[in-house]
Chains A and B, each alone.
Chain A
Amino acid sequence: MSSDAVKKRKPKVIRNEEGTPETKRGRAEGEQDVLVYHEEVELEGRDPQQDYLLYKDTCAALAKLMAEIQELKSSGAKVGSVEMEERRRQCSVHFITLKKLNRLAHMRLKKGRDQTHEAKQRVDVLHLQLQNLLYEVMHLQKEINKCLEFKSQHEEIELVSEEEFFQEAPAEISRPHVTRDDHHQLTLARLDWELEQRKRLAEQYKMSLARKEKIHKAIEQKREYLSSLQPGLQNIMQASLPVQECLSMPFEQMQKQAEVARHLPPPLYVLLVQAAAYGQACDKTLSASISGDVDEAKALSRPPEDSQDDESDSDAEEEQQNTKRRRATVGVQLDDKRKEMLRRHPLSLCVDLKCKDGSVLHLFFYYLMNLNILTVKTKVSTTTDLSGAVSAGELLNSESLLNCLYASDHGQETPNPTNRYQFDKVGITTFADYVSDLGHPYVWVQKLGGLQFSSDSELMGSALSASHMERTMKLLQGRLQARLALHKQFSSLEHSIIPVSGECQHLFPAKVVSGLTRWTMMSYQEFTELGFVQHVLKAGLLRETDLFFMAVVERGTARLLAAVVVNPRYPEVMPLFSLSLHWKGERSGRTEDNLRAMESEVNVFRAELQGPRPGFQLLTNQIQRLCVCLDVYLEMESQVCDGSEGPKEFPREKMCLRTARGPSRLKPFKYNHPQGFFSHR
């Protein structure tokens, strides 16, 4: 029934307790509730268990009736008989009961559902309320937390500690009676105090700033005033120059030099300082000065950033230019690189050493920047004219003057081992090629500049320079004096006069007949080609840096050739003589024992021959002794060699005890003074 269904639906939606259509109708008709039949009421009164039993019974009765009907029908009773009708009626009654029971069951179910539904609704409402409350709780908790976490700005302010606060703050701010108990008040009070203090300090700060400004201005004014004084001072300095010279206190010069010296490279600076110090302390004749281009030196020491900027600009320009120009050849590039590597610092040092006789040794020191070595060039200026000795040409040659100042210090190769790698890069094989241009890099020059390239000593820098300064200067002076003495001696040797000084006369007899006839210089090549010097070569007593000379001593028909090796360090090292005699045949120190003895007489006895200090007479004494020995040799020839009995060419004039001694029958070459006779050693 659709209308029933609709009606049934409506009560479900409205959720009335009255669910049945009858009751609904009953309500709609008016309020006759008391008389309306409520099946629900009846339902409450019935026991479901009984209803179930009733159902079972009814079903059983129905089944029984059905069976009876069946029986009747099978037994052939007529349809519509009374028994059958009776039974049918009973069945219908039972059916009605069943229907009622069914209805009741449905109604019970519905009721149960409605109750459950209701209960659920209630629970839902409560649940919702619970949720609302929980949500509120949470919200409140969050708020509380937020409040608790709140950091007020005041906590960031560093406040003075409480004790300090109570001590320092005045009572009106600190209000101890209140604040001691109440933390909030205490904090407020402290903040107040802080604020006051800060205000006060801000005031002070402003005042200090103002004062500073004032002082600044005052300084500026004074500075201007001072700078205005500068020209005036300059004038005074200029005016005082003559006074300085007069009093020989060259302050301005020294100042200027000090100013320029600031731009010197470190080794030259060390050298300058040490040389000046040495000059002041020990040797008043030594003077040191700086020469060269100061501006260039300043340019070198400018900071690199400026030059880099400049470089990048100029590079850009250059590139444009280069594309137009032809690119330089590889050789030229290499040449440029070499020139760059061998560049000298624009400033150089000049040290003058004066000797007693007035001659001066000028030393020019240069610093090669990329190679980090010092080099030296020399010049000698003498008071007297030094011309006239051909053989002495090499003596004062500035290239070789300072050779071997210390043993084996040739100054041909750079002493800095790192230069080897630098040279390889630009293709320089030996530094010797550039020495005449750039100066000699002697080891002592490096030491004077404080540059230490070997691991010999621990000293560096100024200490190294100071430790070598005195000795080197003395050696330099000695070298110059020795060379000058030799120069003088050579000029008289070339005139065949052996200049024997008065103090050395006692070494020789009064009469010396053999005389020097020639004194010439030889080159290393010529010297090594001589036959009678090979033993010296073999013994390793020759160096290319030595000076070589040939002396010829003659008497009658006898001619003695003496090849002399003079070490650059003369007179520390004795000159070495090798002899060859041309007299009735050729003999040399190698073939004849007596000539060998003569060589030994001249070469070995330094203590006798060197004469008074500083021993510049050594060479001339050796030559004189050579002449004396030749005299002895020729006179002591016992027999005329060719067998004839004629008069001997050289009559014996020398006194001696024995003419021959020893298995080699040596002649007496040793001269005894003052008795004047000759004996064997």
Chain B
Amino acid sequence: MFISLQLLHMSVFSQSFSPCGRFLAAGNNYGEIAVFSLSAALSPDASQASQKPILNFTAHDGPVFSLLSTDTHLLSAGNGEISAWSWAELIKKVRVSCSVNFINLILIVGGGDNNIHIMDMETGIFKSVLKGHTDYIHCLCFKEREEEILSGGEDGAVRIWDSRTNRPVHCIEVFKYEECARPQFGKWISCLATDSDWMLCGGGPSLSLWHLRSMSPTSVFPLPGCQREAVFYQDLIMSVGEGPHVSHCLHGGTVKAQIPCTPSSLNTLALNLKNTEHRVMTVGGSSHQIDVFTNFSYKAFSLSF
């Protein structure tokens, strides 16, 4: 009975696909990480049991807000600590111990101390700090072509940093733009995404598409709630946030479709692009269930913690 009580009050905060694309790791508010086997869940003879995690372990004391996959490891961030787990071990359903073994990787961490820290994964030493935000940082993304870091935070500003010189390049205060601002919600930015010259940002202000060269918003999406995560996919923009649906939007600013899903509000959206067999989209939020979309227009089934 206690387990069903826990399930009733569970929220999924983060997701990440494995490097091979066959497994999904999800983190919840109790600090647990569950690994699901997508190949089992998507196979034709999938049963109730294949929608349950193959491995479920407690990673942190507090909620697992962020999950990130490298080629070999899964990084999870909790309330102040970052842990790394080996995907190979996770797949083998072995209760893993924390291990760090990276080569030539850097990790960019945005933290509650208003700063962005850059860490060398191999040695585990923080190389540099990017200071500039006045409030804590919610989201980060990376522009590979220009090697720029974008960060959005509670202070409502989207800052663009040059990763080679570690210097701020631009600062956009989204809430100051009338077309985007929604003072009834606040000024915080909770989601950021980039695609070459374009940037998506949203949160308190409406979700808006920005052209980075001109630093101006080109379209504003009329979505009612606060958006928590948005991604570019082909020529669509998909975003999730408050409200039990996934919004498909076009670059022009129109909302093409809103697909209903089980959780009453969604925290995280993930696309499995690494594996062509298991090309799915998964969303998780205020529920113990994670919806899986095989065709992005409707929900196929749900995985459950």
Interface residues of A (CB under 8 A from B): 535-536, 539-541, 573-574, 576, 590-591, 593, 596, 599-600, 603-604, 606, 638-639, 641-643, 658, 660, 662-665, 680-681
Contact = CB atoms under 8 A, between A and B. Distances in A.
B286 interface: yes
B112 to A, nearest CB: 8
A536 B13 contact: no
A599 B6 CA distance: 11
Contacts of B264: 590-591, 593, 596
B35 to A, nearest CB: 21
A103 to B, nearest CB: 141
Nearest to A642: B184
Interface residues of B, number: 34
B4 A664 contact: no
Give the most central of B8, B183, B186: most A CB within 10 Å: B8
A604 B6 contact: yes
A596 B4 contact: no
Contacts of B29: 681
The majority secondary structure among interface residues of chain A is loop
A600 B286 contact: no
Contacts of B242: 593
B4 A535 contact: no
Given A596-B9, A663-B65, 20 more contacts: A535-B8, A541-B4, A573-B1, A574-B5, A576-B5, A590-B264, A596-B11, A599-B9, A603-B8, A606-B2, A639-B183, A639-B184, A641-B184, A658-B112, A660-B188, A663-B229, A663-B268, A664-B228, A664-B265, A664-B267
B168 interface: no
B190 interface: yes
Contacts of A590: 264
A681 B184 contact: no
A539 B4 CA distance: 7
A517 to B, nearest CB: 26
27 contacts: A539-B4, A540-B4, A541-B5, A573-B1, A574-B5, A593-B265, A593-B286, A596-B9, A596-B11, A603-B8, A604-B5, A604-B6, A639-B183, A639-B184, A643-B183, A658-B112, A658-B136, A660-B154, A662-B267, A663-B267, A664-B11, A664-B228, A664-B267, A665-B190, A665-B226, A680-B62, A681-B62
Given A593-B286, A664-B286, A600 B184 contact: no
B205 to A, nearest CB: 13
A599 B229 CA distance: 25
A539 B186 contact: no
Interface of B: 1-2, 4-9, 11, 13, 29, 62-63, 65, 112, 136, 138, 154, 183-186, 188, 190, 226, 228-229, 242, 264-265, 267-268, 285-286
Nearest 8 pairs of A and B residues by beta carbon: A600-B9, A663-B267, A663-B228, A590-B264, A539-B8, A643-B184, A593-B286, A604-B9
B8 A536 contact: yes
Contacts of A574: 5
B186 A638 contact: yes
B265 A541 contact: no
Nearest to A538: B8
B305 to A, nearest CB: 13
A360 B29 CA distance: 46
Give the most central of A606, A638, A639, A642: most B CB within 10 Å: A639
A660 B135 CA distance: 12
Give the most central of B7, B190, B228, B286: most A CB within 10 Å: B286
B149 to A, nearest CB: 20
Contacts of B65: 662-663
Contacts of A604: 5-6, 9
A99 B112 CA distance: 186
A243 B13 CA distance: 77
Nearest to B265: A593
A657 B242 CA distance: 24
Contacts of A535: 8
A642 B183 CA distance: 10
